[in-house]
Every structure is written in structure tokens, then in C-alpha cells.
Amino acid sequence: MAVSLRGITKRFGPVLANDDVSFDVARGTIHGIIGENGAGKSTVMSILYGLTASDGGEILIDGRTVTIARSADAIGLGIGMVHQHFMLVDSFSVLENLVLGVEGGWRLSRGLDTARARVTALTRTYGLELDLDALVGDLPVGLRQRVEILKALYRGAHTLVLDEPTGVLTPDEADQLFEILRTLRAEGKTVLLITHKLREIMAVTDRVTVMRAGRVVAEVATADTSREALAVLMVGRALAPLPGKREIAGGPAVLATEGLSVTDAAGIRRVDDLTLSIRAGEIVGIAGVSGNGQSELLAALAGTLPIAGGRVMWRGQPWPSGLGPRDRRRQGLAHIPEDRLRMGLIGAFHAYESAILGYQDDPDYSAGPLLRTGRICDETRRRMSDYDVRPADVDLRSALFSGGNQQKLISAREMERAPAALLVGQPTRGVDIGAIDFIHRRLIALRDRGTAILLVSVELEEILALADRILVMVDGRVVGEVSRADATEQALGLLMAGVRDVAA
């Protein structure tokens, strides 16, 4: 076995993150680790990589008991890790990032020349082609992930841990990653894949370990199971189908744009002459490859990015160009942002503080300059219960919740106010199947109560499951609208590729 874990236990205060975790990973395989948010997957991998110390248990590498007190110990044992949030220096070149910390002596130029030759050989062996002189900050997400994988291989990793590697990738980029993983396996490398996405588990793994509430509840060969069986193991119950779609009554738009144009900080036009409308009680989905203006559209509607042309309409009246996010919220616009860590919450804040972020001036939450902390904590506890946020600890720092539980905390904050319109960006990115089902049901319930919802997602399956109308964006423009009856992954994919004759 490449890796064997025996009785790994870890507590964070009152939270038992890992409870007697034991499993084996065979050399030269791709081994999946799945479970709900907060199931303990990332914690046990952090212990394996030396980022976190366990409270008990042992680790065996190639059948030998080892001590891993820090990451350097793991690297020395041939273990590499690609984190969910990349550990790269944007202002450095690809090559400089690869050699950072292992420069090969005080003469940097000699070390870089030696590294270039080694890295070039690695890129050819594993199909990880990259421009070694490109600045990492200029690379798309998929190529930055390649840099992380190369960095681990350059340091001699023969066991590679990937933590939610497709959370920020487009479907095409994810498929490219899977090909890389298969090549690594063919070359004798071992891969531990932490993911929430059962499609990925079925597509690329040989064996899968299922965790729930900090414990291992099953370990099966992928060929002997199914997505449905794994879903039941993950959440402990079968998931019912989502409610069916219904016809939307005609009526005036709650939120609309007319000829909207948005430019970024570099002056590049990201949204170009875009017109759309969202009526009460409907979900309008926007599909497209990430980076085609969807993020800038949401930011402009939310008031966090100025518009360069056109206008935003609210209940038939134009919003003043200087109307900020606070005033838009007061008029009934809510926003679940794409990037929960940068825009959705503040990691150092207690959960009860992040639970009211943006609404802290509401009289229910404040009396003059003072917060009504008791009332806020009571409401946060109720929302945590309603939205199944784990752990249900209002005093826990926001950064200490798993990604999915952070997302549920933000979703509760924005949805529970029954907004007239809701902007939703990538609502289930990095979220497990149980939380995805929960968030989807909440969005449908909100729609049925009359909220106008604009949904942006790179997950076509999500768009197809939720949207009443689907628009496709390419290069900042809407290139087509697909009716609910004609909406298929193939039809949307053709529009995303620039084929415009498939819209109904």
C-alpha cells in the first residue's frame, strides 16, 4: 500500500473532525475520498501532508510507520498536495514558482537552468505543457493548477493529494485534468482525489472511501458501485427528485438591463450591450465558460462594479449610476457572490457577524452604533438549524467552517429576507451533494414565493435543473436563449462554442 491510515483522530475544540479514520490506498491507483462538507476529508489529508497534527493514530507509507510533523516531512516521503486554493506567487513566472524553496544554491541562474531542463522533461512525460516564462498571475485557472501539480512532481512526489481540484475548473478543464491523472496513474503514481462530485469519482477513480461525520462509513471499488449508492452513503438517505418546473405567469420585470456595458480595471469591455429581464417568480440561468463576462454582469447588477454604458432597471425605473450595494439591498436586491471568501464573508469574523454582513445597519440588528448581539446570535442559531450549518456554533470563526457550510451560511443570510430579486453566482461550487440538493430546493422555494432569480453557473447540470429560461454568454454578449423544452447540454454546448442556430 502506498498509504495506510490507522485510527486517525483529530479534535478542534468540541468538534471531532476525525474519529478513528482508517483506510488503505494501493500504489499506482486513483483513490477517491468523498463525503459531505465537514465530513473530515480535508482534515485527514492535512494530517497526511503535515499541515495538521493528529491527536492519535498512525500513518504508514509503503508499509512503514512514519512521523509527519510538517510538510517538509511529507515531501521527503514523496507526498505532494495540490490545495483547493492555490499556493502560488502571481508575480513570479511558472519556473520561479516551481523552484521556490528548492532553488539549488545561491546562484539562482544556474538553479533555474537546471530546473528548466528537469521541468521540460516532466511536462513531456505527463502531458503538462506550460510556458515556463509566463507570469502565473496571467494564467487561467486550469493552467495554474497544472503549475501546482508540476511543483509537486518536481519535488519528487509519487503520491499526489488533490483537494477539490475541479471546484474552480470549467467542464473542459476538468476533463483535461482527468487525462493528466490517468497519465500519472499509468506512470505508477498514486493519486488521492478529494471531491464532492460523484460524476468525477465514477469517471476517474479505481476505489473510493466514503466519510460521514468524521468517520469512514464505506470503502468500495468504483466499478462495484454507482452514483446513487454513493450519494446514499454520503448523506445517509436517498435524495428525492427536485420539484418539477411550472409555467411562469407573464408580468413586468423586477430586474432588467438595457444595452448594459461593463469594463474591467484594465479598460477591457467584459459585458457588451447586454439586454435581459427577470420577472417575479422565475429563474433565469446564464450558462457559459467562465470568463465570458458573467462575473462582471453580477458585479454591475450588485453595484460593486461601475457600468460603462446602458442602464439597470428596477421595477421599470432606471437605477442611478451611483446607487451602491447598500441602497440596492434596501430596495430588495440580495446577492450570493461567486467568491464566498473574498465577497461573501470575512474569515476572521464570528459566524454571527458574517451572518448579518451587509445588513448590520438593520434596526433588528443594531441600536445606533451598537450591535444587538444577543438577537443576532439567536437568529443565527435558527438559520444554522434551518440550513443545516455544521457545526452550529455562532462564535466559531467563519474561516473555520468548511466551504459548503460557509456557502449555506451566506445563502441563509441572503435568502431568508425574502428578496424581490436575488443574484446567485456559482451557488454550489465546492459543495457536497447533500448541500447542493438543499440549496437547490431553497432556490426553487424562493422562486415559487415570487422572487426573481438570476443564476450564473458553469455547471450545466445545475442550470438545466433550476432555470426556467436559459441564456448563454460568450465574450460579454448573450448569443442565444434556449427554451426550457429545448434545453439540453448539447444545445447549450453548441451555443457556448459559438454555434448560434440552436436557440428556440
List, for residues 29-86, the tens digit of each pLDDT value.
Answer: 999 999 887 788 889 999 999 999 999 999 999 999 999 999 999 999 999 998 877 7
pLDDT-derived band at 111 (thresholds 50, 70, 90) equals low
Three-state SS string over 342-407 comes to: HHHCCCCCEHHHHCCCCCCCCCCCEECCEECHHHHHHHHHHHHHHCCCCCCCCCCEHHHCCHHHHH
Going through 134-237 in order, the beta strands assigned E by DSSP cover 159-163, 190-194, 207-212, 215-221
Statement: the pTM of the whole predicted model exceeds 0.85: no
Which one, of 239, 64, 223, 92, lies nearest residue 151 by Cα?
Answer: 92
CA 86-89-91 angle, 5° bins: 140
Give Cα separations from 338 to 126, 154, 169, 375 (angstroms).
32, 33, 13, 29
What is the rounded distance in angstroms from the CA atom of residue 247 to the CA atom of residue 123?
52
pLDDT-derived band at 155 (thresholds 50, 70, 90) equals confident
The CATH number of domain 3-235, selected from 3.30.70.380, 3.40.1230.10, 3.40.50.300, 1.10.150.240? 3.40.50.300
State the residue for C-alpha cell 415570487: 450
pLDDT-derived band at 13 (thresholds 50, 70, 90) equals confident
Domain-by-domain residue ranges, the chain?
3-235, 253-346+414-496
3-235 and 253-346+414-496, same CATH topology: yes
Residues 120-137, mean pLDDT to the nearest whole number:
86
What is the rounded distance in angstroms from the CA atom of residue 448 to the CA atom of residue 466?
12
Query: With the CA atoms of 46, 52, 57 and 59 taken in that order, what torsion angle do they form, in degrees rounded to the nearest 10?
Result: 50
Exposed e or buried b per residue across 180-210, where buried means at least 16 C-beta atoms within 10 angstroms of its C-beta: bbeebbeeebbbbbbbbbbebbbebbbbbbb
**Of the listed ranges 66-75, 96-105, 253-262, 466-475, the one predicted with least confidence:** 96-105
Would you put residue 267 in left (φ > 0), alpha (ψ -120 to 50) or beta? left
CATH H-level, domain 253-346+414-496: superfamily: P-loop containing nucleotide triphosphate hydrolases (3.40.50.300)
What are 283-331's pLDDT values in tens digits?
999 988 777 899 999 999 999 999 999 999 999 999 987 899 999 999 9
